[in-house]
Amino acid sequence: MTKDLIGLSPSRRAVLKGAGAGLLTAGFVAPVWAQAAPIKLGFQLHRTGIGAAYGRWYERTAQAALKVVNDAGGINGRPVEIVFEDDATDPKRGAEVVEKLVSQAGCDVIFGPLFSHVVIGTAPRAAELKVPYLVCSEGYHVASGMLNRWTMQPGITDVRAQVSSMAPWVMANLGKKVTMVFPDYAFGHDHRDFFSAAVQAGGGEVIAQIAIPPTETSFTRYLPQIPADTEVLYHVMVGPAVLTFVKELGEFYGTGARPQIFGFIDSLEAVDTASPGLEFLEGTHFWEGHNRVKQADASADETAYRAAVGVDDNGASVSDAKDVSTYAHMFSVWETLHVIKAGMEASGYQSPADRQKFVEAVEAMTSMPASLAHVQGDKMFNGKTHQVFGHQFISKVEGGKLMRVHTTSLEDGMYPDGVDYTTQSF
């Protein structure tokens, strides 16, 4: 089990021994909490494997949120610690890791995973162990009813809601004839299905769908398949090859006529928008789950969050301006930890025997007002589908920076319930 001391080199692991840095001296816990056993949160972390670029920032965000929670008195008067365990972004190891965190480290709840296949591969074991499993994955797998009573997504809006809420603005402002480029696997298919449906419902038309195999490292040969009468090119790619994709798109169109371009920031998470070869993104639009570049109207909470996580006004690490964060997603870790705190306090959580009460307390949540705990903005939680709904942002690249031009309403992304988990047994 890997353990990190706050404030020490983040590349080394440490037990985040409860106390905030102020209370923590030379590695022993401040006397205030000497008697109270800590609440242990298990973090299923993509430290290695394909998700590692996200995992590193998820870990940093979790540590920052932990410090804030502990500085404010912990949970139910007890200090909190997080035990991080690497799942190698693999579903098989993911299930083993949850086992290890619960059975061996004695964690009270598990949270943190992003990649859908890890979530789906782990959820059955979490249910068997009867441990709350709070995912930060933006997948539609929770609200679709595929998982179980113990698995919840209270920290980030799912992809179905994200893309549905984007469609009206895209059609009203960019064009009605859309060509979609997406990875040929489940995440891309969610985009394909839900965005196409929303475009049709809005009177537009998806004229071509270009699915790119996950093993691809070069994309130029797919670009001729983009129809000439395309008004909007919608792109979403993930993985280490995304930068290549965007660069090749630029080479292909060059300075000639091109359609409007609308992308999901997933294509450029952890990538500097000012990288060489990306100049052509100027004037194109992106979905952002959370604005990477600090906007003029940023709240005090937003400023505090950036400082706590160690991110500058451009969304890069304060210690290395080239180290760009996964800003549009990682807030989910921060918010999920605060939901855990709220849920444990509402249920009077004392020990693993109260896990069921904790799940019921989270299910009872509804409105989550914007605050330091919900730094991305206010949200509405649907206890039946275990899914939260938040605002989405559309940003335009201006001078190499992502500037927000539109904010969706919560209602824009809502859809009929696909499941009622509260009727399922524990």
Partner 1 sequence: MGTPPLSFGPFLFLALLEGTVMAAVLALTAVGLSLVFGVMRVVNVAHGEFFMLGAVLAWFVTYYLPLPPALGWIAALIIAPLLVAGIAALADVLVLKRLKYDPEATIVATIGLLYILQQAALTFYGPDARPVPAPFDLRLQFPWFGYSGYKLFVVVAAAALLGGVWALMTHTKAGLIMRATQVDTEVARAFGINTDRVYTATFALGAALAAVAAVLIVPIQQAHYLMGGDPLLLAFIVVIIGGLGSLRGTVVAALIIGLSDGVISMFFSPTLAKIIATLLVALVLVFRPQGLFGARA
Partner 2 sequence: MTDGAKSWALHLGLIVALFAAQFFLPQYHATNLARIMVLAVFAMGYNIAFGYTGLLSLGHALFFAAGMYGMGLPIWQLEWPALPALIMGLVAGGGVAAAVGVLALRTTGVSFMIVTLMFAQAGYLTILYFNTYSGGDEGFVVDRAGRMIGGMDLAADTPRYLAALGLFAVAMLGCLVLVRSPFGRVMVAMRENEERSRMLGYNPFAVKLTALVVSGIYAGAAGAAYGLLFGYVGASFAQIQYSILPLLYVLLGGAGTVIGPFLGAAAMFYLIDIASSYTSAYFFVVGAALVALVVFAPKGMLGTLRDRGLKWLP
> What residue ranges bind partner 1 (CB under 8 A)?
11, 48-50, 52-53, 55-56, 177, 179, 184, 207-208, 211-213, 215-218, 220-230, 240-244, 247-248, 251-254, 256, 270-271, 275-277, 323
Q: How far is the CB of 187 from partner 2 (least distance, A)?
A: 8
Per CB under 8 A, the list member of 73, 202, 214, 400 interacting with partner 2 is: 214
| Near partner 2 in 142-181, by CB under 8 A | 146-148
| Apex 369 CA angle, 417 and 127, nearest 5 | 45
Cα 44 to Cα 109: distance, rounded to the nearest angstrom: 11
- Residue 244: HSE in the Cβ half-sphere, 13 Å Cα cutoff: 11
Of 61-69, 184-192, 200-208, 280-288, the segment contacting partner 2 by CB under 8 A is 184-192
Q: From the list partner 1, partner 2, none, pick the one residue 90 interacts with, judged by a Cβ distance below 5 to 8 Å according to partner type.
A: partner 2
Q: Are 128 and 152 in contact (CB under 8 A)?
A: no
Is residue 420 close enough to count as binding partner 2 by CB under 8 A? no
Is residue 197 close enough to count as binding partner 2 by CB under 8 A? no
Q: Enter the tokens of residue 183.
A: 């990875």
Cα 295 to Cα 292: distance, rounded to the nearest angstrom: 9
Q: How far is the CB of 215 from partner 2 (least distance, A)?
A: 8
Rounded (10°) CA dihedral 319, 325, 327, 330? -100
Q: Indicate the residue among 122 and 284 with the shorter CB distance to partner 2.
A: 122
Cα 157 to Cα 413: distance, rounded to the nearest angstrom: 9
Q: From the list partner 2, partner 1, none, pick the one residue 91 interacts with, judged by a Cβ distance below 5 to 8 Å according to partner type.
A: partner 2
Q: How far is the CB of 183 from partner 1 (least distance, A)?
A: 10
Q: Indicate the residue among 183 and 310 with the shorter CB distance to partner 2.
A: 183
Q: Indicate the residue among 140 and 219 with the shorter CB distance to partner 2.
A: 140
* 294-306 residues labelled b (16+ CB within 10 A) or e (exposed): beeeeeebbeebb
Per CB under 8 A, the list member of 96, 313, 345, 360 interacting with partner 2 is: 96
Q: How far is the CB of 221 from partner 1 (least distance, A)?
A: 4
Phi, psi of 206 (to 5 degrees): -95, 110
Q: How far is the CB of 279 from partner 1 (least distance, A)?
A: 11
With a CB cutoff of 8 Å and minimum separation 6, the contacts of 64 are 305, 308, 309, 310, 334
Amino acid at 297: D
Cα 383 to Cα 364: distance, rounded to the nearest angstrom: 6
What is the number of residues in the chain? 426
| Near partner 2 in 355-374, by CB under 8 A | none
Q: Enter the tokens of residue 22.
A: 């102020």
Q: Indicate the residue among 31 and 213 with the shorter CB distance to partner 1.
A: 213
Q: How far is the CB of 67 from partner 2 (least distance, A)?
A: 20
Per CB under 8 A, the list member of 44, 63, 70, 116 interacting with partner 2 is: 116
Q: From the list partner 2, partner 1, none, pick the one residue 100 interacts with, judged by a Cβ distance below 5 to 8 Å according to partner type.
A: partner 2
| Apex 315 CA angle, 65 and 287, nearest 5 | 100
Q: How far is the CB of 13 from partner 2 (least distance, A)?
A: 6
Q: From the list partner 1, partner 2, none, pick the one residue 2 interacts with, judged by a Cβ distance below 5 to 8 Å according to partner type.
A: partner 2
Q: From the list partner 1, partner 2, none, pick the one residue 9 interacts with, judged by a Cβ distance below 5 to 8 Å according to partner type.
A: none
Per CB under 8 A, the list member of 40, 47, 67, 247 interacting with partner 2 is: 47
Beta partners for residue 402, in sequence order: 397
End-to-end CA distance of the chain: give it in Å, rounded: 28
Q: Are 30 and 17 in contact (CB under 8 A)?
A: no
CA 17 to chain centre: 25
| Near partner 2 in 117-146, by CB under 8 A | 117, 120-125, 127-128, 139, 141, 146
Beta strands in 69-193 (DSSP E): 80-86, 109-111, 133-134, 151-152, 177-183
Q: Enter the tokens of residue 405.
A: 């031009």
Element (H, E) at 262: strand 260-264
Q: Indicate the residue among 116 and 162 with the shorter CB distance to partner 2.
A: 116
Name the residues that contact partner 2, by CB under 8 A.
1-2, 11-13, 47-48, 85-86, 90-92, 95-96, 99-100, 103-104, 116-117, 120-125, 127-128, 139, 141, 146-148, 184-187, 189, 213-215
